[in-house]
């Protein structure tokens, strides 16, 4: 007796693949499925199983095709799962078997043509009862946490799961109350969980402690697509992930008309409800994320940092230049600093690098606040005060553009980068 048992590759708990068709040595093409299929087949039961008496199978090599009820060979994209309302869509799998003279399977393996579509563990030591444990790769797993959109899609938000396996993220999106539209695994395989036409719970909870904010907009889940990438807070993405993520985002940008500067990270938009960017998601997608790979793609993805056409004088660069004329390195702006201001009707000198500096009339902090806000960051009013809210915005900007998260100070290099990003992109809505 040979038992073929089909399960979901990406979920540890039992997720059977019912109503799949199994073809032995088909004469005609079966995958992708043909409309008029002349080949005989068997169908898995509700437990995802089929049993065979292989006493009548001649010794030699045989082919077993497994074709799920809902399947496609197309890559995952905006088109995936449009149409029939189904819980799962899987890839098909071709298995090669050797049957011996005792009417038993002596060897079974996944054919190289479908190697990415699933795995096989063959329990064939016993002649009386043999089992092929097959795990099929899903490309669509429907999350129950999907909602009607209230805004046209004009934004894409990039995330990192925080774990090293895709299964834990899928379980979260099936039962944990949150969701994302797409998941990109470490090997570059993509799983979709929410239709683009629906909103997913990926941006924030939109409550008093947890809100999304970009430019003048909030409630960003209703207008965005969320893409999760599998990885811990200490991991960067793999080359395969960057390749799949780039392809997917470019397809979504083209189809939905999302401009490149509206592709941002979760750490760029999540605030604590008081307008301060939240460090709870500063590692999402994290300082290891190589935004330059996306920026340099064709077409480019994400906020550009070169090519701005604003030109004109740079008052912040002039400030750093003016205070370095004494020969010592210019101080880095830091929390607690402020521009020159009036206190009690009297002028007070600016505080830069933790100390008051007289005879400085420039207002570099106000300019930097204005530029960060025009990029999209939640920085608060441009009041010339390097307050905690501005410090959070600076730290999150550095995570995105400088690949570091250990500082909330602004030196001449960071100031120039803030100006460059502001000049290279349209002003945030």
Domains of the chain: 2-137 (2.60.40), 143-295 (3.40.80.10), 315-424 (no CATH)
Report whether pLDDT(96) > 70. yes
* pLDDT at 301 (0 to 100): 98
Report whether pLDDT(132) > 70. yes
* pLDDT at 393 (0 to 100): 97
* pLDDT at 55 (0 to 100): 86
Residue 421: CA count within 13 A, CB half-sphere: 26
Residue 369 host element (H or E): helix 364-375
Confidence bin at 327 (pLDDT 50/70/90): low
Residue 381 main-chain phi, psi, to 5 deg:
-65, 145
* pLDDT at 14 (0 to 100): 78
- Cross-strand bridge partners of residue 121: 133
Query: In the predicted model, what is the mean pLDDT of residues 156-165?
Result: 97
* pLDDT at 332 (0 to 100): 93
Q: By the 8 A CB rule, do 96 and 109 touch?
A: yes
The better pLDDT of the pair 305, 103 is held by 305
Query: In the predicted model, what is the mean pLDDT of residues 27-31?
Result: 94
Task: Give the distance from CA 131 to its chain's centroid.
Answer: 37
pLDDT > 70 fraction of the chain, expressed in percent and rounded: 98
* pLDDT at 311 (0 to 100): 67
pLDDT per residue as tens digits for the range 67-87: 999 999 999 999 999 998 999
Query: Do β-strands 155-160 and 263-265 pair in parallel, antiparallel, or remain unpaired?
Result: parallel
User: In terms of Cα–Cα distance, which of 188, 178, 97 is closest to 137?
Assistant: 188
Report whether pLDDT(344) > 90. no
* pLDDT at 309 (0 to 100): 66
pLDDT per residue as tens digits for the range 222-270: 999 999 999 999 999 999 999 999 999 999 999 999 999 999 999 999 9
What pTM was estimated for this model as a whole?
Answer: 0.95
Q: Mean pLDDT over all residues of the chain?
A: 94
Taking the C-alpha atoms of residue 34 and residue 23, their distance in angstroms, rounded to an integer, is 13
Query: In the predicted model, what is the mean pLDDT of residues 163-177?
Result: 95
Mean pLDDT is lowest, of 32-36, 109-113, 199-203, for 32-36
Q: CA triplet 76, 78, 79: central angle to 5 degrees?
A: 80
Report whether pLDDT(371) > 80. yes
Token output for 147: 């909602």
DSSP string, 319-338: HHHHTTTTSSPPPPB-TT-B
pLDDT > 90 fraction of the chain, expressed in percent and rounded: 84
Report whether pLDDT(88) > 80. yes
Confidence bin at 310 (pLDDT 50/70/90): low
Report whether pLDDT(342) > 80. yes
Query: In the predicted model, what is the mean pLDDT of residues 353-369?
Result: 93
Taking the C-alpha atoms of residue 48 and residue 359, their distance in angstroms, rounded to an integer, is 79
* pLDDT at 325 (0 to 100): 61
Token output for 95: 């298995």
């Amino acid at each position: 007796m040979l038992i073929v048992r089909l399960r979901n590759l990406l979920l540890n708990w039992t997720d059977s693949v019912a109503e799949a068709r199994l073809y032995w040595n088909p004469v005609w093409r079966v995958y992708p499925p043909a409309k008029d299929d002349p080949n005989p087949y068997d169908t898995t039961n509700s437990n995802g199983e089929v049993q065979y008496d292989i006493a009548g199978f001649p010794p030699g090599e045989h082919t077993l095709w497994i074709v799920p009820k809902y399947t496609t060979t197309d890559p995952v994209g905006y088109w995936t799962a449009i149409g029939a309302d189904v819980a799962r869509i899987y890839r098909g799998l071709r298995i090669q078997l050797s049957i011996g003279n005792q009417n038993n399977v002596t060897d079974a393996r996944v054919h190289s043509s479908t190697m990415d579509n699933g795995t096989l563990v063959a329990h064939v030591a016993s002649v009386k009862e043999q089992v092929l444990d097959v795990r099929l790769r899903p490309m669509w797993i429907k999350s129950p946490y999907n909602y009607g959109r209230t805004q046209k899609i004009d934004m894409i938000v990039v995330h990192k799961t925080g774990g090293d396996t895709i299964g834990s993220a899928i379980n979260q999106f099936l039962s944990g109350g949150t969701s994302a539209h797409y998941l990109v695994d470490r090997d570059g395989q993509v799983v979709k969980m929410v239709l683009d036409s629906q909103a997913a719970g990926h941006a924030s909870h939109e409550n008093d402690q947890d809100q999304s904010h970009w430019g003048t907009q909030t409630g960003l889940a209703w207008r965005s697509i969320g893409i999760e990438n599998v990885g811990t807070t200490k991991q960067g993405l793999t080359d395969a992930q960057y390749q799949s993520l780039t392809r997917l985002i470019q397809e979504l940008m083209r189809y939905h008309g999302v401009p490149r500067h509206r592709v941002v990270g979760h750490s760029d938009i999540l605030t604590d409800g008081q307008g301060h960017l939240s460090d709870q998601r500063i590692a999402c997608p994290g300082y290891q994320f190589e935004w330059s790979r996306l920026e340099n793609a064709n077409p480019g993805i994400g906020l550009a940092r070169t090519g701005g056409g604003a030109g004109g004088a740079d008052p912040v660069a002039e400030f750093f230049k003016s205070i370095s004329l004494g020969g010592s390195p210019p101080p880095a702006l830091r929390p607690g600093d402020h521009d020159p201001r009036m206190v009690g009707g009297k002028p007070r000198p600016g505080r830069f690098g933790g100390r008051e500096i007289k005879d400085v009339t420039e207002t570099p902090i106000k300019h930097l606040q204005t530029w960060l806000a025009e990029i999209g960051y939640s920085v608060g009013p441009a009041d010339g005060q390097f307050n905690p809210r501005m410090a959070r915005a600076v730290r999150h900007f550095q995570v995105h553009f400088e690949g570091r998260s250990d500082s909330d100070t602004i030196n001449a290099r960071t100031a120039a980068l803030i100006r460059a990003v502001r000049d290279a992109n349209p002003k945030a809505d």
